Amino acid sequence: MRPPLLQSTVTFGGLSFDPLVWSEPLMWLVLSAFLGSAVLIRYDEAWARRVAVSGWGLFALFWLVLIPHFTLTQKSFIEGIGSLAAVPLSLYAGYLLWNGRDSLFALTRAIGVMGIVYVPFLTIGPLRQWLVEVVTDQTAFLMSLTGVDPLVVDGYSHNGIEIATKQYPYESTFWFDHEGGPITYNILLACTGMGSISIFAGGILAVSAPWRRKLRALALTVSLIYVLNLFRNVFIAVMFGQQRMQWFEGTIMSLFGLSDPRMVSYYLADRMLAQFGSVVALVVITWFLVRELPEITVLVEDLLYLITGSEYDLSSAFDIERETNETVTRPSDD
């Protein structure tokens, strides 16, 4: 038994739809628009605004096509709700930027930089394999310290049992022997923490601040996220591989549409506890980052405005001085 495969085809009324097929070209269009606007703003603000607003519209479409993947395939409440909320928020960001909220140019640029950090790991096979296998080895080492020492095998077969899928070609599968049959847990790119790292790296690198402080904030943030993610992997692997969270089996199986009761530990450990814990951890990291790099508050304030519709002055709330060359123009409420 293994966690659900990353096959993303969804069927509606006999018609098959693969969200990931559509999301990849949309991703490239969004990155091109956001990075293009970051270049254009140096020469022509009007065109930079048009390109950025177009990018936000494409960003909304990107999240829209991914909703079925997160909700129906991944069965992740947090990612499903997040992708659903991202659609109107992206459209709202484009609307505000078009109507003069120039501070959103910084957030637009930040998302473009996030793509520069993340996309190489997504598209370059050897680089992705190196990262996945390094994280697998480090996760295995930490597990061994707890007295749990599963085999690490490739994604094809072990002991004559075929476990091959094209999604798991690396030596990144933990093999747990179990009386009901082997349980395998796979480390994927999504398990490396690179997604969260790219989000923070994009924000840090995109704001106007002295490079010394940006690099220091980047080193601290990346290190913290990376280490916390390793412990997250250990938690999920141990809970699932050793079936330590077989709680409320009937309820969890009905809630997630499961057919094998052994998957209960995986869904409780990963889809519920680990993902919720990740959200809490990212909020705490953001709080510390604001203290270390006050210039990033321009991004946080805009995100809060998109979500709540209210203006926030975090520099006053945190009693910090924000040094920035960023022109922050926000339309009046009048």
Catalytic residue set:
191, 232
Place of tokens 């095998």: 153
Query: What tokens appear for 282 in the block?
Result: 């990212």
CA distance 71 to 73: 6
Please name every residue paired with 158 in a beta bridge, in sequence order, or none if there are none.
161
Cβ(196)–Cβ(277) below 8 Å: no
Evaluate whether 247 touches 262 at the Cβ level (below 8 Å): no
Distance, CA of 165 to CA of 183 (rounded, Å): 15
Q: What is the C-alpha separation between 241 and 267, in angstroms, rounded? A: 12
CA dihedral 60, 63, 68, 69 (to 10 degrees): 160
| b/e code 186-195 from CB counts within 10 Å (16+ = b) | bbbbebbbbb
174: β partners: 152, 185
3-state secondary structure of 11: strand
Strand partners, 15: 12
One-character DSSP codes across 66-112: HHHIIIIIS--HHHHHHHHHHHHHHHHHHHHHHTT-TTHHHHHHHHH
